[in-house]
Amino acid sequence: MPDTPAAPRTFRLSDFDFELPSELIAQHPAPERSGSRLLDGTGAAPLDRIFKDLPKLLRAGDLIVFNDTRVMNARLFGEKASGGKLELLIERVLGGNQVAAHMRVSKKPAIGDTVSLIGAPGQADHLSATLLGRWPEADGPMFRFVLSNDAGDDPFTLMARHGHVPLPPYITHTDSSEDARRYQTVFAKNLGAVAAPTAALHFDEALLARIDAMGVQRAHVTLHVGAGTFQPVKTENLSEHQMHSEWYEVPVATQQAIADCRARGGRIIAVGTTTVRTLESWAMSGQTTGDTSIFITPGFEFKLVDALVTNFHLPKSSLMMLVSAFAGYEHIMALYRHAIAQRYRFFSYGDAMLLTRKLSAPEAG
C-alpha cells in the first residue's frame, strides 16, 4: 500500500521565537547603503556576501519590484493643558486636516480637548491637535485628531516642518540628520508611510545602474507601511491574530511589467515583505488599490513572487511567519541561526538576505 502522506504541521506562535543578542540590533545604518552584508539563502547552505554582490544573483529578464512609499516625519510631541507630556505617531492623513494617530500619554485627553504640539526650533508656529475620537471606529485602536496652525497648513506640510523621523521602537537614539537621510529609500516617492520598506534601504544609485545595465527590469508598487509592522503577534493560535491594515496600489505599468516578465520566463523578485504583501494581495483579490490586512503564514500559496530580498525580522512577528511561508520554516530558522552566529546586524538598519520561494509541499499555518 502507498504511504499515507504526513499531516501538514500546525504552527504556533512559539515556533517563531528565537534568542537575539541585543548588540546585534543595528542602531545606525552601514556607512554605505550597498555595503551591508547579504546572506544568500537561495541554496541549501547559507553563503555570506556583501549587498553590492546582489547583481551576481540576478538574471537578465528578471523583474525586481520595489515599494516606493515615502516615510513621513510622523512623530510629533506635545503637552496637555495640565502640563502632561504627549506623543503622537500619525499613521494616516484622512482629509480636512484630520489624521489617525497612535497616542502615548499617561492620561488620555477628553474628546474635544486641544493639546499644544512642539514646533521646530526657531519657528513661531502655534501648532495644536484637537481630539475628535477613536479611529477607524468608536472603539478603534487609533485616535482621530484635527491638526492646525496659524497658517492653516495641511498635515503633510506640518509634519515636514515640525515632525520627527518615526524610528522603530528598538532604535534607542533620537532622530538625527543621518536618520532623515538614511531611513528613506533613494527612490522614495509617495508620501504616507510611518516605517521604511527597509530591504530597499540597501540600494543606492550605483547599484540600481548596475542592475539596469544587465537587463534586469524594475517596477514599483506602493504600500504605506504602518506602525503595526513592529507589533509582535500575541496569540499562540495564529488564526486568532488580527492583522493590521495598510493601503497599497499596483500601478498599471507594474501590472504590465509583471505580465511581460511572466511571458519571457523571468523571475519576479520582491524587495521587502511590504512588496510581497502588495503583490500577493493584488493576486488574491484582483484589486489594484485599497487596504490589505493579508496575513501570510506557512501553508500560504504564493501566486506571483519568486524571490525575495528582505532584512532580518523580530521574533514572533508576522514578518517571521511570512518569510517562513515563503522559503520554508526549517530553512529560515537555519538561516537565522547562521546569521546570529556570524554576527549579522538585525532589523531596520541591519543586513539583508536573499530567498527563493519554496516549491515543495506547503506547510500548514
Give the pLDDT confidence of 322-353 residue by residue, as tens digits. Answer: 999 999 999 999 999 999 999 999 999 999 99
How far is residue 49's CA from residue 349's CA, in Å, rounded to a whole number? Answer: 17
Q: Is 265 exposed, middle or buried (CB count within 10 Å of its CB: 0-12, 13-18, 19+)?
A: exposed
What digits encode the pLDDT tens for the residues 82-139? 889 999 999 999 988 999 999 999 999 999 999 999 987 767 688 999 999 999 998 8
What digits encode the pLDDT tens for the residues 169-198? 999 999 999 999 999 999 999 999 999 999
In the predicted structure, residue 6 carries a pLDDT above the cut 70? no
pLDDT at 27: 98
The model's confidence at residue 9, banded by pLDDT at 50, 70 and 90, is confident
Q: Do domains 13-71+177-356 and 75-162 have the same CATH topology?
A: no
Q: Where are the alpha helices (DSSP H) in 59-138?
A: none
| Cell numbers given for 46 | 547559507
Mean pLDDT, the chain, integer: 94
What digits encode the pLDDT tens for the residues 244-297? 899 999 999 999 999 999 999 999 999 999 999 999 999 999 999 999 999 999
Right CATH for 75-162 from 1.10.3470, 2.40.128, 2.40.10, 3.30.70: 2.40.10
Q: b or e along 266-303 (b: 16 or more beta carbons within 10 Å of the residue's beta carbon)?
A: bbbbbbbbbbbbbbbbbeeeeebeeebebbbbbebebe
- Tell me the three state secondary structure of residue 99: strand
Instruction: Please name the residue that has the C-alpha cell 528578471.
Output: 62
Percent of the chain clearing pLDDT 90 (strictly above): 87
The model's confidence at residue 365, banded by pLDDT at 50, 70 and 90, is very low
Q: Whole-prediction pTM value?
A: 0.94
pLDDT at 300: 96
pLDDT at 361: 43
As assigned by CATH, the class of the 13-71+177-356 domain is alpha beta
Show me where the domains of the chain are located: 13-71+177-356, 75-162
pLDDT at 119: 84
